Amino acid sequence: MSWQTIDRKSVADETLGPGLSDAIKDKVRSFFPRYPSKRAALIPALHIVQDGLGYISLRAMRELAEVLEIPPSAVIDVATFYTHFWTHPKGRKTIVLCRSLSCELLGGKQVQEAIERKLGIGEHETTPDGEYSFMTEECLAQCDHAPCMLINEKLHKRVCPEDIERILADPDNDRLDIPRSDLYDAPARTAGPATKDREPTAVDAGEQPPDTKAT
């Protein structure tokens, strides 16, 4: 992927993409008490935005910067650094194939070719029906089950090229057999008395830490 320069004056409004709903903004704000500053909540905030909108649009980055009281450039820096975050629309399901050593040695490249052949798309592309997007990623930490891939959050282990047809035909190929982590869906903690597992913070006291002020 190469750098793209964006002339902000020439970006048409309709290309900025969707903005943040009030529900997304409230959820981001509900994370503030967990962190020493609003800026520190940037990564979970990006997860919340991507969960809510499907990707992180330019408009969403701009509005998130306002919520976090940081420059928009700080948001785009982080959103474009991590491959997990998509800055263009992606499909309903995202296939993430491991491209690291164990998986590559055990046939990951052939699995990739089978996926690209079956879906007719390459990396970071989306099928015309909007069902699947595809990307490769470094080690998924399941090397003893190589080659492996994720479909959304579901892990598929020891995948062979011949399995791809069957896996993609299964409508439940992204359904988790275990409860989803509630890290980003946990009940909101509101500012107030400190819980027993942490010390009171400036946010609890209703203070604004100095480094969260708009810059």
Q: Residues interacting with ligand FES, by CB under 6 A?
A: 98, 100-103, 139-143, 146, 148
Closest CB to ligand FES among residues 67, 146: 146
Closest CB to ligand FES among residues 126, 142: 142
Cα-only R_g, the chain: 20
Across-strand partners of 136?
97
Closest CB to ligand FES among residues 56, 146: 146
Cβ 72 vs Cβ 49: under 8 Å: no
Letter string b/e over residues 167-190, b meaning 16 or more CB atoms within 10 A of that residue's CB: bbeeeebbeeeeeeeeeeeeeeee
CA angle 4, 134, 121 (to 5 degrees): 85
To the nearest whole angstrom, how small is the minimum distance from the Cβ of residue 78 to ligand FES? 25
To the nearest whole angstrom, how small is the minimum distance from the Cβ of residue 14 to ligand FES? 40
To the nearest whole angstrom, how small is the minimum distance from the Cβ of residue 12 to ligand FES? 41
To the nearest whole angstrom, how small is the minimum distance from the Cβ of residue 212 to ligand FES? 38
Closest CB to ligand FES among residues 58, 98: 98
Give the whole-angstrom CA distance, residue 166 versus residue 72.
43
Diameter of the chain by CA atoms?
A: 59
Closest CB to ligand FES among residues 74, 143: 143
To the nearest whole angstrom, how small is the minimum distance from the Cβ of residue 203 to ligand FES? 38
Give the whole-angstrom CA distance, residue 139 versus residue 197.
33
Cβ 28 vs Cβ 184: under 8 Å: no
To the nearest whole angstrom, how small is the minimum distance from the Cβ of residue 97 to ligand FES? 9
Closest CB to ligand FES among residues 38, 156: 156
Across-strand partners of 149?
97, 156
